[in-house]
Every structure is written in structure tokens, then in C-alpha cells.
Amino acid sequence: MKSTRLKIFILLTMFAAVLVGRVAAQTQVVTTAGTIEGALHEATGVRSFKGVPYAAPPVGEWRWRAPRPVARWRGVRQTQRFGAACIQRVAGSRLPWSSEFMVQEEISEDCLFLNVWTAASSSRERRPVLVYIHGGGYQEGSGAVEVYDGAKLARHGLVVVTINYRLGLFGYLAHPELSAESKSKSSGNYGMLDQLAALRWVRRNIAAFGGDPALVTIAGQSAGASSVHNLIASPLAKGLFQRAIAQSGSSVSGLPTPTLAEAEKAGQAFAKAKAAASLRELRSMTPEQLMSGAVPSIRFAPIVDGWALPQDALAAVIAGHHHDLPVLTGLNADEASSQPTYGRLPAVDFKKQAADRYGARTPDFLRLYPAPTDAEASIAQKEASRDRNRVSMHLWATRRALTSRTPAWTYYFTRAIPWPPFPQYGAFHTGEVPYVFGTTDRLDRPWQQKDHDVSALMMGYWVNFVTSGNPNGPGLTNWPAFDPARDTTFEIGENTGERTITTPERWQFFREYLQSSQVVRGSILF
């Protein structure tokens, strides 16, 4: 009897060992730096690998330097948990961005990690790859934010990668001493260099996850979309991707990009405020010391450094100095609804704002957007913001078409996340992201069937574009490619289909204004 029990025990142990071995084989991947082990979701077949280092930690003497290769490791590195987010001020939530849209994990300078989701059954597959760059104004965010979970898109056939990159003063501080020590004689775009390093990691390693290194789409929202445009304009990015998606970020009046000289001067002012007489002293400070206290009002963000970014991304497109590849881009109906004045200015203040902004054109503007009462002013504010943003996007696509052979597709997203306590936010900035990733289930909202339909639609368009360079496919409403001769875009949300930009008179007003010397770059809130 004991002998029989012993045999059964041995057989069960051997069977368990075989199962463990099979799971390990499915969840282990050999990268150029060593073997990693992720996690398998057995119900869906999606494997996830979180907190995978793609560059060495940029700490100590390597703060404010180009990223270095990862040191090889022995054995198996566990990658079932996200790595730390890059140094930033962690807000937790900031309406309309609830916690699902914001960083919740620890922060560290040791933060150059990426995450991979794949449903490929072997490394012999060659699935299209989506590399998603998070938003956050270059000041916050990470690839681990909940709404960026790539499992659903992986189930639809993509290999999804999200990345961290250095932020704020850690990612974009320029200084003459930094430029002098650099081989490129430039400084400031460390976050962008991180993005390039992540894309090189993808080119070298993604085949091991069943991805196709020759079929990579870069995508991003807000600062992520701005990053996409900068990478399209960067000679260092040649051959690293074949398509691009920019969500909330294609405009002829976006924020101006400072020059290296301007950024170096700002960096000197920052160092002076920190009483740092040298670069060595700045590097000796802790992140807390660098981020605390009174400092000049400096926006640390990408600059025209003459190397990674030789010229402003819009200027590069106009000059034809960009990577010519298919682009999908769009914006949301209520991009500026996080601002306290959006749709809330009294009529008298709205008219004053119009006079400050449009000068001699103000009578024409108020005729097109009348505001005799506060209620009518609220409507006029929203309509003017939406029209202006759509016209600006159309003008960007028109300028791109003059120097491109590849097509573009533009969209206008109008579905407001159901949110009874906060209806004023509408289709807010970033509100389309859960629909694209299929992560609506991460948010506690009174979802309707319409929301599930819109999410399925957007996932279909995005997957098709990443796969073929064209969002159209069976079962989807036809999305016409951008045509400069047609004053239209493609609405996704409350309605789906081609729609006009705005009325002919409003179109003419904003087209003339946005192409005039009167417009101030950066006045459109993306």
C-alpha cells in the first residue's frame, strides 16, 4: 500500500514538474541582456513582462547623460511587476484624471523600464508591434498607468510595449557644461534619447516575444503625441518604426520648441537658483533637493538641440525633413475641459478674452460665436475651442501632405466617459485612451453599450493601422484618408463617420487667423 502511494506521489510530483516547466517555457524569454520571466494569463493566453530594463540606470555621474546599454545578468530576472516610474511629483489623481490615468507606483531615478504584452505562442511569429509613449506634459506619467494595460490589444494580435522615459528637469535640463561634455555637443533631450534607446531595444529583442521588428508603430497621447512628432523629425530614429499615431497633438499652433542656447540659459538660471557652481554640484544633489525650493519658472521639455532634434517638428514637416510614413492623428471634443474657465466664462469676460486674442478680428469672431448672455457665452466658448482645434489639425495635415507621399488619417473623438458627478469634463483630454486600449473595465463608471461599441471600433481601427498602415477593415465604417481638398475629418464617438470641420465662415475665420502672424503658438491646449 505504501509502495503504491509512493508511486502515485512520485507521478504527481513529476506531472507538476512538467506543468511548471511548460509554464516557465511559456513565460521565459531570452533578451540580449539575459533571460526574463513574466506572467501568463491562462484564460487569454496573454503573456506580460513588466519592469524590463532597456537601459542602465541614469544615476550618479550618469544623471543627464545619454542612456547606456543594460549590463547583462546571470540567471533569470523576474518581470512580473512594474518597475519604478521616473522621478516626478506624484499627484495620485487630478480631475478629470482619476487614479486610473495617473502614476501610483514608486518613483526613482532608476526608472528606464518597459513592459511587453504578447499573445504570440512562439518567437517564430511576427506580429505587428505597438510602442506606446505616455503623456503627462513631460513632467509626469509612466508606462505602468492602468489605462495603458496592453493585454486587450495583445489579444487582438499586437505585441504591445509601453515605456518609461526621464521627465522634467531629469529628462530635459540643458546646460553649457552638459553640452561641453557630450560627444554631440548638445544637451537637454535625455527623455527623447531614452525613447530612442527603447526603440532600439525593441528592434533587437521584440522578435523573441513574437513581434516583428520591421513592423513597429510608435504611438502616444499628449506629450506622447508630441514625442511621436519629434521622433518623426529625428534623424536618429531612422528605420526604428514604420507608422505613427499621435493622439491629441497635431496642430500648427502647439507650444514652441526652445533652442539649445535658450535652454542652456534656462539651465544656468536653474543652477544659480540651486546655488550650484558646477555640474558636479548639481549631480551631487538628491532628487528631493533638486525639486524643492524656489526656482525660476522653467518648463523642462524637448528642445531643438541640433542633434536628436535638428529643428522644430512642425518646421521639419514643412521642410520635408521628416520620416515619411503613414500617420493617424486626432483630438478630443473637450481638450481644454480640465481648465477652470472652459465653458464657464461670463459673457463679459469671454468678449474681453476674444478682444485680447483676436484684436481687429474680434467683431467677426463674435458674429460667428455670439455671446449676448452667460449661457450663450458658454456654448460659444466650447464651439470656438472645438472649431479652432479641428481647423488647426486640418492645417497641420495639409502642410504635411505637401512634403509626404504616405497617407494620413485624422479623427475627432466625441464620446464623453459616462460620469454623472462630473458631466462638465465631456470628452476630455486623455478620455479616448481607455477606449483605444480596451481598458474601460479599469474605471468604475456607469458604462453603456455605446461605450463598448466605441471601444471595439477604436481598437479595430488602431489594430488595422498598426498591422497594415490603414485603419480600415471588414465590419468598420469606412474612414477616408486625409484629403487637403476636403474640409472634413472623421468623427468617432457619438456618431461615426466623415463630418465637416465646421461651417464655411468659421472655417475661413480660423484658417486665416491660424496662418497669420497674430496667432500665438501654444494657445491651443493639448
- DSSP letter string, 439-455: -GGGS-S---HHHHHHH
Residue 353 contacts residue 366 (beta carbons within 8 Å): no
The type of residue at 512 is E
Q: Per-residue pLDDT for 8 more than 50?
A: no
Is the residue at 129 inside a domain? yes
Query: How many domains does the chain fold into?
Result: 2
**Which of the 8 DSSP states describes residue 97?**
B
Average pLDDT for 342-362: 94
Position 9 scores a pLDDT of: 37
Angle at which helices 374-402 and 504-514 cross, to 10°: 60
| CA–CA gap between residue 20 and residue 24 (Å, rounded) | 6
Position 517 scores a pLDDT of: 63
Same domain, 376 and 268: no
Same domain, 145 and 231: yes
Same domain, 321 and 340: no
Q: Per-residue pLDDT for 370 more than 70?
A: yes
Position 519 scores a pLDDT of: 59
Is the residue at 26 inside a domain? no
Q: Binning pLDDT at 50, 70 and 90, where does residue 518 land?
A: low
Q: What are phi and psi of 336, to 5 degrees?
A: -100, 15
| CA–CA gap between residue 340 and residue 48 (Å, rounded) | 39
pLDDT, tens digit, 9 for 90 and up, residues 480-496: 999 999 999 999 998 99
Q: Per-residue pLDDT for 20 more than 80?
A: no
Average pLDDT for 433-458: 97
As a dihedral over the C-alpha atoms of residue 107, residue 110, residue 116, residue 117, rounded to 10 degrees, the angle is: -30
Same domain, 284 and 416: no
Is the residue at 22 inside a domain? no
Which is higher by pLDDT, 189 or 4?
A: 189
Query: In terms of DSSP bridges, do strands 107-108 and 76-78 run parallel, antiparallel, or are they unpaired?
Result: unpaired
- The C-alpha cell at 158 is 499586437
Q: Is 253 helix (H, G, I), strand (E, B) or coil?
A: coil
**Which of the 8 DSSP states describes residue 520?**
P
Q: Is 509 exposed, middle or buried (0-12, 13-18, 19+ CB in 10 A)?
A: buried
Same domain, 265 and 359: no
Average of per-residue pLDDT values in the chain: 92
Task: Provide the annotated active-site residues.
Answer: 222, 335, 429
Is the residue at 511 inside a domain? yes
Q: Binning pLDDT at 50, 70 and 90, where does residue 499 land?
A: very high
Q: What is the CATH number of the domain that holds 66?
A: 3.40.50.1820
DSSP secondary structure, 286-341, as one string: -HHHHHSS----------B-SSS-SS-HHHHHHHT-S----EEEEEETBTTTTSTT
Position 255 scores a pLDDT of: 74
Beta strands in 223-265 (DSSP E): 243-247
Same domain, 224 and 103: yes
Q: Which residues of 477-501 are buried (b: 16+ CB within 10 A; e: fewer)?
A: eebeebeeeebbbbbbbeebeeeeb
Q: Binning pLDDT at 50, 70 and 90, where does residue 10 land?
A: very low
The residues that bridge with 412 in the sheet, in sequence order, are 331, 491
Is the residue at 3 inside a domain? no
Which is higher by pLDDT, 300 or 21?
A: 300
Which is higher by pLDDT, 6 or 474?
A: 474
Position 15 scores a pLDDT of: 36
Same domain, 308 and 339: no
Q: Per-residue pLDDT for 372 more than 70?
A: yes
Is the residue at 29 inside a domain? no
pLDDT, tens digit, 9 for 90 and up, residues 166-189: 999 999 999 999 999 999 999 999
DSSP secondary structure, 351-372, as one string: HHHHHHHHGGGHHHHHHHS--S
Domain boundary among 267, 297, 325: 325
Position 369 scores a pLDDT of: 97
| CA–CA gap between residue 121 and residue 211 (Å, rounded) | 11
pLDDT, tens digit, 9 for 90 and up, residues 114-151: 999 999 999 999 999 999 999 999 999 999 999 999 99
Domain boundary among 290, 325, 360: 325
Is the residue at 28 inside a domain? no
Q: Is 389 exposed, middle or buried (0-12, 13-18, 19+ CB in 10 A)?
A: buried
Position 19 scores a pLDDT of: 34
How many percent of the chain have pLDDT more than 90? Answer: 90
pTM: 0.92
Position 314 scores a pLDDT of: 94
Q: Is 143 helix (H, G, I), strand (E, B) or coil?
A: coil
Residue 441 contacts residue 451 (beta carbons within 8 Å): no
Same domain, 139 and 230: yes
Same domain, 49 and 174: yes
| CA–CA gap between residue 132 and residue 433 (Å, rounded) | 11
How many percent of the chain have pLDDT more than 70? Answer: 93
| CA–CA gap between residue 212 and residue 466 (Å, rounded) | 11
Same domain, 78 and 223: yes
Q: Which long-range contacts (CB under 8 A, 24 or more apart) does 474-480 make?
A: 479/409, 479/411, 480/409
Containing structural domain, residue 508: 333-526
Is the residue at 19 inside a domain? no
pLDDT, tens digit, 9 for 90 and up, residues 45-95: 999 999 999 999 999 999 999 999 999 999 999 999 999 999 999 999 999
Domain boundary among 325, 348, 380: 325
The type of residue at 65 is R
Position 253 scores a pLDDT of: 83
Same domain, 195 and 105: yes
Same domain, 162 and 304: yes
Average pLDDT for 236-258: 92
- The C-alpha cell at 231 is 521622433
